Amino acid sequence: TEALDLTKRAEEVGADAFLLVAPYYNKPSQEGLYRHFSVIAESTAKPIMLYSIPGRCGIEIAVETVVRLRKAHRNIIGIKEAGGQVEKAARLVKELDPEFLVLSGDDSLTVAFGEVGAQGIISVASNWLPASVAKLNQLVQAKKFTDAKVLHNQLADIFKVLFIEPNPVPVKHLMHRDKLIQSAEVRLPLCEMSEANRKLVETTADAYKSSIR
């Protein structure tokens, strides 16, 4: 498969680990997902993190499938769960061993996932606000949820506006504007933001930066 070939090529050039998204478009069964990820896990000794994002792939990786994969392949070490379901995160934490990482794929759910035992976040906003997002996660992991919610509320508008158009277009725009990256260019079918959305992203970002000075 393409995913298997890309995994092998990445390992050859020195990748330390792999983030494997669920196959998109053809909507495989859970058995098909199990076999797909198993073939890749058997091809490498490097750590693998599953990535469930049904909104983009049309299929989610079910809790039962994650449990099967973890039992069969110990190099499958976690999941980026981006389906927006706190209840699913709670089930993953409950049914998997403590070493298995359950990470939120949605900045806006960092606190909610942490409250049910998830260990962190693979973040969009951290590309532009690494210190703020790191602090939020540190508060969550320290179980200082009251303080975490205060910071979350300060960041909430940022989390929302970064998805006003398809990710990563808004965050790349901010990073380029603030000279963190050399280009905000994206490949088709992604394209630059509309003028109205660009202004909204910048206004929201500037308001947050002003609030923390």
Cα angle at 149 between 52 and 197, to 5 degrees? 65
Q: What is the pLDDT of residues 170-189, one digit of tens each?
A: 999 999 999 999 999 999 99
Name the nearest CA neighbour of 56 among 168, 201, 191: 168
Res 211 pLDDT > 90 = no
Confidence of residue 212 (pLDDT cuts 50, 70, 90): confident
Q: Catalytic residues, which ones?
A: 51, 80
Q: Give the model's pLDDT for residue 174.
A: 97
CA distance 94 to 70: 14
Range 1-122 has CATH code 3.20.20.70? yes
pTM for the structure as a whole:
0.92
Q: State whether residue 154 is helix, strand or coil.
A: helix
Average pLDDT over residues 151-168: 96
Cross-sheet strand order for the sheet of 76-81: 18-21, 48-52, 76-81, 101-104, 120-121
**Cβ count within 10 A of residue 55:** 9
Name the nearest CA neighbour of 178 among 130, 122, 108: 130
Q: What is the pLDDT of residues 85-126, one digit of tens each?
A: 999 999 999 999 999 999 999 999 999 999 999 999 999 999
Q: Are strands 120-121 and 48-52 parallel, antiparallel or unpaired?
A: unpaired
CA distance 168 to 155: 18
Task: Specify the domain boundaries for CATH 3.20.20.70 within the chain.
Answer: 1-122
Q: State whether residue 49 is helix, strand or coil.
A: strand
Res 157 pLDDT > 80 = yes
Helices (H), the chain: 2-12, 30-42, 54-57, 63-72, 86-95, 110-115, 130-141, 145-161, 169-177, 195-211
Instruction: Quote the DSSP letter at residue 71.
Output: H
**Cβ count within 10 A of residue 120:** 18
